[in-house]
Amino acid sequence: MQKLIYLLIVAVGIFGCQPKSPHPTLITFTATWCEPCKQVRPILEQLKEKIKVIDYDFDRNKKAVRKYKIRAVPTFILGDLRTHNIREVITALGMEQEFANAFAEKLTAGTLSTCSRWASERRVMSGDFAGKYGWKYHPWVKSLHDTRATFNYVMKGAQLGITEVAINRALYTLDKLKRDVLYVLPTAKGASKFSKGRFTVALSLSPYIRSMFTDLNSIDLKQAGNCTLYLSGSRGNNNLKNIPVSELILDELDEMDQAQIYLALERLSGQLRKCVWGISTPTVPAHGIHKVYQGSTQEHFMFQCPYCGRHTELVWPDCVEMIGEYETDVRCKESFLKCKECQHKLEQKDKPIFLAGGKWEPTAKNINKDVRGFYINQLYSYTVNAGELVSAFLRGFGDELAATEFWNSKLGLPFVAEGAQISEQMLDATIAEHSMNDVRPMIGGEKLITLGVDQGDMFNAVVCEWNIDGDASRDLSAASLCKVLWVGKHTSEDWGWLDQLMSEWQVLYAVIDADPHTNEARRFARRYPGFVGLTRYRRVKNAKEITTTEEETRGVSMHQCDRSSWISAVMSRFKSNPCRILLPRDIPHEFKQHLMSTVRTFKRDDHGNPSSHYVEVGPDHYLHCLVYNEISLHFSPMLTDTRIGKVL
């Protein structure tokens, strides 16, 4: 009985406090001869001050008893008499524990109309912030849960609670909005790890969430009633093509296949009731999360300084008093956060207090409220202190990986290390005397000439001539000088154009991108047996190795090699001193742009091991043409006894 009354009071409290609740009323049926009714009476009197209570005597109000089909006393009906929306009925017949639980559950569900409320009630956490899910230590996540924009992009430092928001959005959408969700991670392996890891943990900690799902057997597809949660990797041809969902969550956007992402986003735009989330630590400028963030509201988490009262935010380096001179300097620990307006020290332990009233505020000039972007860095973190940030910063001096990690993972900002991108100056330094219009080589000449072709909307082609001026038996790339003779592009339907290039330049060996028109490429290569190979990038253990197979391509050589290592080989030609590549004086600007569009950054594999890789921030077809020429070089010397003139 006591429990029942308690629940009743809670119920009234919840409904009574909700501004949107339409005139909640409590109807009670009691009788003078009923002992429990007598016990309830004083509480009912108190409730009358907070909520409208209509008190019927069971014996004297037969009409109402019939209307509400009352069969026992006491009976309580909670609802809105005006709209006849009855929220709950409790009778003395059903005072068992289950009823009380079900009642509490229904009351709770009725109040979980926003994702943040839902999460705080349904999610249970372990570890550092064990217990019911909340945002005391990361207050910036609360309103993130409840954004109503179609596109939401979060550019963030590591470990700031954003992935939990994404998980909450996914589960809330399934449970309350009754819509399908697609949760995408960079790789299928990552998606399955996420499914078995974080997702399973969320379920194991919360009985309610576990009860939502009717089928959990599949790793990449979870059934919650009529709704489905799909977990997928971003790579592969069909993964994002037909999105059957209302909520799309792209987790670690920067590591994904960018072309696929843009296709997916394009397809989603304009569709009603869609919601897209992109979250990531950034890598390089104008790529991935930074690219989409730039087109957003660009919101920062602003708060009031507890000392000067000014509206401010936490930024590097203005908000850090840096103490210590090198990474292992013990004085680093003495570094502290400060207000950039008044310079007053901000205590780490006070963060939950002074950040509690913080708000997301747009910094972009042209605001499309349907594309919201959020930026947050580790200066806000409750678990990372200023000393750790300073050590990480100092570690970055002379260490490209550490510097990249500091900017990307700690500050949540894109970063280009020195020398990680080819500059226009570097390109200009390689421009030589020759012209793209110089006389073509003679038939049967002795020159080592190669051709690299990138397939896409267009053919991009680059013709190179090679001079071996070092010890080729040790490292052919290092021992050779590359002279770019000619570059150009043409509609990719006309393979005859490539025939013309083969003959015009007396090409000794050509390497052609195997995709997307693999059949046509294969047919072309068959016309030049031993002089044309196809290529495709793949991940390999031994980075410099080229694997050549003929099975898949039926008689045509397919050279497979590691993308990063071979881009690196091309890049190093421009960076070495003296440079080992020469460009014609009339090289088109587009060629230069393609070479400047690739930036080296780092990523960590599933085991946490870092490796460098290249991301493109614009079209980069000519760069790949150079890579294919580099591969061609390794197959050309074998052909020194043959001349293409004999074949043509």
Interface residues with Zn ion (CB under 5 A) are 305, 307-308, 339, 341-342
What is the DSSP secondary structure assignment for residue 150, as one 8-state letter?
S
CB-wise, 313 or 630, nearer to Zn ion?
A: 313
CB-wise, 350 or 471, nearer to Zn ion?
A: 350
Contact between 115 and 125 under an 8 Å Cβ cutoff? The reply is no
CB-wise, 317 or 645, nearer to Zn ion?
A: 317
Angstrom distance (rounded) from CA 392 to CA 372:
30
CB-side exposure of 358: number of CA atoms within 13 Å?
Answer: 29
What is the arrangement of strands in the sheet containing 546-549, beginning at the earlier edge strand? 546-549, 558-561, 532-537, 509-513, 448-455, 458-468, 480-491, 581-582
Residue 515: closest CA among 467, 456, 462: 456
Q: Spell out the residues 6+ positions from residue 551 whose beta carbon is closer than 8 angstroms to its own.
A: none
Tell me the pairing of strands 299-304 and 311-312. antiparallel
CB-wise, 344 or 544, nearer to Zn ion?
A: 344
CB-wise, 102 or 308, nearer to Zn ion?
A: 308
Residue 154: closest CA among 377, 374, 414, 378: 374
Minimum distance, C-beta of residue 346 to Zn ion, in the bound complex (Å): 8
Minimum distance, C-beta of residue 302 to Zn ion, in the bound complex (Å): 13
Minimum distance, C-beta of residue 344 to Zn ion, in the bound complex (Å): 5
Minimum distance, C-beta of residue 276 to Zn ion, in the bound complex (Å): 37
Angstrom distance (rounded) from CA 497 to CA 518:
17
Residue 77: closest CA among 24, 14, 26: 26
Using alpha carbons only, give the angle 318, 323, 324 rounded to the nearest 5 degrees.
130
Minimum distance, C-beta of residue 566 to Zn ion, in the bound complex (Å): 52
CB-wise, 337 or 532, nearer to Zn ion?
A: 337
Angstrom distance (rounded) from CA 635 to CA 472:
13
CB-wise, 110 or 306, nearer to Zn ion?
A: 306
Q: Which residue has the tokens 């987790």?
A: 251
- 209-247 exposure pattern, b = at least 16 Cβ within 10 A, e = fewer: beebbeeeeebeebbbeebbbbbbbbeeeebbeebebbb
CB-wise, 338 or 573, nearer to Zn ion?
A: 338
